[in-house]
Structure 1
Amino acid sequence: MSDPREAPLRLLRSANIGPITWRQLIARFGSASAALDALPMLAARGGGRAPAIADAGAVRREIARVEKIGARYLFLGDSDYPPLLAELDSAPPALIVRGNVALARRTCIAMVGARNASAAACRFARQLALGLADQGVTVVSGLARGVDTASHVGSLAGGTVGVIASGIDIAFPPENAELQERVAQEGLLVAEQPPGTEPLARFFPSRNRVIAGLALGTVVVEAAPRSGSLITARIAAEAGREVMAVPGSPLDPRAQGCNLLIREGATLVQSVDDILEAIRPIDARAVRSPTSRFEGPPPEDAGDAERRRVTGLLGPVPVAVDELVRQAGFSPAIVQTVLLELELAGRLERHAGGKVSLTT
């Protein structure tokens, strides 16, 4: 009997297939196996070659490696997949985890900040994290230097989740190897990339969306105006989550990002009570089931004229899918079908904020 994890992973590890495409394919064809069979047809309709499908043997070896290091998979739609993360349109189809997955189902707060954080910021982050953990709140961060490290140290005893940009078997930065192992043993360690993956720069924005997606709100303790921490805050805001920031001296460049967030409407944080008060209205809402991510209007096949119309509206500049639907005058299902075909053909790129563009 075949491993039920194999087909979903093969689909996910195949070329030109990201989280949104993976979910749309499962919804359209009912299973990963059927979606794999349909890839050549869909790519041909999009005007390209069939994407390279992941080798079954390589996927089996990945599964064996995950099990050997004491980790396991959480697939979108599983009962123990983090429900808040499942709400994101770009929710990872598969997570690789070590530790206590129940921590990701509690009330979670993300804490992020500068890698070169000041001593005062690290101390304050550690105190905030300790206070949140004492209140039964799980603290989520990225195991980076500075504020992330302080946040994990402060919340380790009460509940912490570390999200990394590498494979779950690789520690980064190297000096946090012991802390990362403690998070895996006493908290929860989460990775999206396969084992053995080095922490390349392009994986960090994806890591940031998982951090923001797991939490009801994101607290930025210290950050420069153009930093990964502000990317995490933006993702949180786009997902309808609370964005909070700790104010700092205008003379310290590391505080400029936080002060900017506050000026733009982020909640000013000076204590644990400020955080708990800010998330209380959000915490009271009903969270959708992860399986709801596969629900929606039935897909519609597109004709040649519809494909030409939608493709003609696209260019190298990212445009919102909603705007494409409005200008094309077709149903959202038809537009999404054309975009799916273009992406599988390697002709479409997806961007943050639900935007798409033709590849250049």
Structure 2
Amino acid sequence: MTRTLPDAQRIDWLRLARTENVGPVTFDQLIQRFGEAGDALSALPDLARRGGRMASLKVASVAAAQAELDAGARLGARLICACEPEFPQALAALDPPPPLIWTRGRTELLHRPSVAIVGARVASAAGQRFARGLAAELGQAGLVVVSGMARGIDGAAHEAALGSGTVAVLGGGVDDIYPPDHRDLYLRLVEQGCVVSESEPGRTAVARDFPRRNRIIAGLSQAVVVVEAELRSGSLITARLAAEQGRDVLAVPGSPLDPRARGCNDLIRQGAAICEGAEDVLRALEGLRGFRDPPGRYAPPPGPEPDDALREKVAALLSPTPVSRDEMVRATGAPAAAVFAALVELALAGRAELQPGGMVVVG
């Protein structure tokens, strides 16, 4: 149920999202279990203790949340929580959605049909030309172009789509201009397009932020087009996330002699559609009518709280190999609500990691 949060509840929502060991999955489970972020915050210390945590859980303070809101306000940025009607429908359909996003610029672009164009940072001249042409044609067809403001393919796609609508998703805060030589592009994106981030304003991106950024790039888009990518490329992570989210994945074929074509050619071997121009993207989008309800966001009915024996049984079943939460329920033979609650407690204690898509690994 969508609702606009009053100021006090907005601070609670932000505090819960910024609390130690509370990722998108744990956040989602806590909201489903307790209803309000404030109630979840009150329960956190006891839940973490039951999960086996010895030290105090680092819960974000009211002062820290207010400082983040003030930093965003100084930038003219906007915080949108996942429960609010302004939150993009495409992201709301993820399992689970990011708890919140910060935006700068034209937020209305987040509600239009979008296609992501991603690819190599060290892109060929031909690859950049293709990305510019594709972005321009998709813009003329009424689609917003989403990318990550990186050098190469990303920058070329943004440049070509500034007039028709483009969204840049950043790994750092909405004020983190990276690479620095894209400062002029960033300023034009804020003025003519939209900049989005899951991170707090003022944060400089580190390596672990980019998979989260890639998930949002894919999540905002109905399709992802990879123009150039080596076999070990962040663009391929975006493509994989898009496939997991039920989005269309297209790849531009290239010469087997060019390492930047190997990732795209491999995607095609794995079943991605070939993209030779905007017609291929538009054909892939034919018949799509928005986004389906989230496929895996199942909230078990209220049930018994996990006892120590079940909690430790669940912990013993965890390993570095991801398994589904449903598999954990089958392995324990316990009620789903109790197993899910045990996993949240273990996650808060740092003993489990709850991943998007319903998977869990040892913490």
**TM-score range relative to shorter protein:** over 0.9
Letter in 1 for 2:49: A
Partner of 1:345: 349
Match of 2:112 in 1: 106
1:34 maps to which residue?
39
For residues 242 and 146 of structure 2, what CA distance do their matches in structure 1 show? 13
Structure 2 residue identity aligned to 1:107: P
**TM-score, structure 2 normalization:** 0.94
Q: Aligned match of 2:63 in 57, 74, 77?
A: 57
| 1:13 equivalenced with 2:18 (yes/no) | yes
- Alpha-carbon distance, 1:336 to partner: 1.1
Q: Which amino acid aligns with 2:44?
A: L
Q: Identity percentage over the alignment?
A: 48
Correspondence for 2:328 among 291, 311, 324: 324
Aligned to 1:297: 300
Contact 1:115–1:146 (CA under 8 A) maintained in structure 2:
yes
CA distance in 1, matches of 2:7, 2:159: 42
**Are the counterparts in 2 of residues 86 and 293 from structure 1 also a CA contact under 8 Å?**
no
Partner of residue 179, structure 2: 173
Unaligned runs of 5+ in 1: none
CA deviation string 1:202-253 (max 9, x = no partner)? 1000000000000111000000011100000000000111010000000000
Q: Residues 162 and 27 from structure 1, CA distance in 2 versus in 1: closer, same or farther, beyond 3 angstroms?
A: same
After TM superposition, the structure 1 = structure 2 runs for residues 184-203 of structure 1, keeping only pairs within 5 Å, are: 184-203=190-209
- What amino acid is aligned across from residue 337 of structure 2 in structure 1? A
- Counterparts of 1:138-153 in structure 2 under 5 Å? 138-153=144-159
2:240 counterpart residue number: 234
Question: 2:320 is paired with a residue of what secondary structure?
Answer: coil
User: 8 Å contact 1:87–1:293 — kept in the other structure?
Assistant: no
Measure how far apart 1:24 and its partner are. 1.2
Distance 1:286 1:85, change over 3 A: closer
Contact (CA 8 Å) 1:224, 1:254: kept in 2 or not?
A: yes
Contact kept in structure 1, 2:105 and 2:194, CA below 8 Å? yes
The structure 2 residue matched to 1:355, chosen from 339, 344, 359, is 359
Contact preservation (8 Å) 2:170, 2:176: no
My pick for the range that moved more, 147-156 or 18-27, is 18-27
Helix, strand or coil for the counterpart of 1:122? helix
What CA distance in whole angstroms lies between the structure 2 residues aligned with 1:36 and 1:307?
21
Residue 47 of structure 2 aligns to which amino acid in structure 1? L
- Report if the CA contact (8 A) 2:218-2:239 is conserved: yes
Residue 96 (structure 1) aligned to one of 90, 93, 102: 102
Q: What's the CA shift string for 1:86-113, capped at 9, x where partnerless? A: 1112421010001112211111101100
Q: Report the residue type matching 2:223 in the other structure.
A: G
Q: Is the 8 A contact 1:348 1:357 kept in 2?
A: yes
Q: Deviations over 1:171-195 (max 9, x none)?
A: 0000101111111111111011111
Q: C-alpha deviations, 1:144-192, integer Å up to 9, x for none? A: 0000001101111001000011111120000101111111111111011
Q: Which residue of 1 aligns with 2:340?
A: 336
- Note if contact 2:306-2:341 (Cα within 8 Å) is conserved in structure 1: yes
For residues 311 and 285 of structure 2, the distance between their equivalents in structure 1, rounded to whole angstroms, comes to 44
Q: Secondary structure at the match of 1:14?
A: coil
* Alignment: residue pair count: 356
Please give the TM-score of this superposition, normalised by the length of structure 1: 0.94
Change (3 A) 1:299 1:122: farther
Quote the residue 2:3 is aligned against.
none
